[in-house]
Structure 1
Amino acid sequence: MNVCQTMTTEETLTCLHIYLYHPEQASQPLYNLLPMNRLHKMSAEESVRLGRDGQTCTFVLNDARVSRKQISFQAYRKSGSADLRFTVQNISQKGKVVVNGCEMGHLERVDLEDKALLRFGRYEMLILREPGESQDSFEVLFEKQNIPPSREMGMDVSFRSAVMDTGMRSYQNGGPVSQEPLEFDETV
């Protein structure tokens, strides 16, 4: 018997490809706790949690302004389909998450399209779903992007300030001190 006939073929896995952008990423080690540019295999039953808490999150951002638990991705299949799809859920009690221009409150969940723009704080994430054959596992791939995905996609850049607006502003000398949301520990 030919060796090729006895070998099992390897399935291609669906990939949740996440391109990250933050305006301070060049000067801050924001992504040093993430497996950048390396495929990370996950069971389809597991949630992909992203935040600053290494005990409750699958992937950690090294940023005190990010919620302990910020967002969660969950794989699912539609009835009658073999394709793995994903939802995103805002699991931050304080921070807003915007997906393709629609704001999500705490615990709200949205089905992701094959290409989606996700924003929270000063972060922008371009999420691409690359289809595969496996129904029980998928891969996650993080890459840094040097240009804001909103600019690359031709979206209105002025919207970025609306994402960062918490509704509470501090003024000094007649102008706002910071438009960036401050994160507080949800347990306090």
Structure 2
Amino acid sequence: MVRKMFLAELIMSNFEDADTEETLTCLRMTVYHPGQNGGIFKSIKFYNREKLPSSQVVKVGRNSSICQYTFLDRQVSRVQFSLQVFKQFNSSILSFEIKNMSRRTSLMVDSQELGYLNKIDLPYRCMVRFGEYQFLLEKEDGESVDYFETQFILSPRPLLQENNWPTQNPIPEDGSYSSFSMQSASPTEMDENELWIQA
């Protein structure tokens, strides 16, 4: 009996002295691509939450040695875009900024067009697009400033139609966008060596 009481007191003492577990800010990314059944998202673990340190810059693209999240698609740049956590001045809440890391494809954040190395703070909910890729990004606030979470969700239907966002035509290979002159060929990325050989 005495031993049971001692064990109970020890457990209560450990429970009371344990650090309070903080909730984590989560960036939920719902994705859609018309060719998604072909395996382009094969390396993405959908519906799992992944815990990351706030100091980590998250990179999304084609190169698995650089990017945390990769798409198996030659039309995606080696690094397409990056996400970085920061705190607004006089705020305890984590925010995110997105930066376009692709030299050849503009990144649309709602109605804002980001060129190469342009960045913008993400609102709580927004649509991010490049080529035929559609991302609905939604932030869920947490208490921790040391860690955050990401979660990917696969949408069976186009996100633009469901959310009444305006459609965007694919961006041609030269990186310029015009609603009057569109190339029918999909953009493909070339190495600098390939360009040197052609020149």
TM-score, scaled to structure 2: 0.82
CA distance in 2, matches of 1:100, 1:160: 11
Shift of 1:177: 7.1
> 1:54 maps to what in 2?
64
Which digits, 9 at most, give the CA deviation of each residue in 1:31-89, with x for residues without a partner?
11112211111111111100000111111111111000100000000111010000000
Give 1:19's aligned residue.
30
Match of 1:84 among 87, 94, 118: 94
| Cα distance per residue 1:95-143 (max 9 Å; x no partner) | 1110001111000001000001000111000000110000011001011
RMSD of Structure 2 on Structure 1 (CA):
1.9
Residues 1:166 and 2:152 aligned together: no
Higher Rg of the two aligned structures? 2
Return the letter of the residue paired with 1:160.
Answer: Q
Q: Report the residue type matching 1:116 in the other structure.
A: C
- Give SS of 1:56's match: coil
**Residue 137 of structure 1 aligns with which residue?**
147
The percent identity for this pair of structures is 31
Q: 2:54 matched to which residue of 1?
A: 44
Which of 104, 108, 111 is the equivalent residue of 1:101?
111
Match of 2:168, SS state, is helix
> Number of matched residues?
176
Contact 1:95 1:183 in 2 (8 A): no
Gaps of 5+ in 1: 169-175
Tell me, which stretches of 5 or more residues in structure 2 are unaligned? 1-8, 175-181, 195-199
Match of 2:186 in 1: 180
Structure 1 segments of 4+ aligned residues over 6 angstroms from their partners: none
Question: Helix, strand or coil for the counterpart of 1:160?
Answer: coil
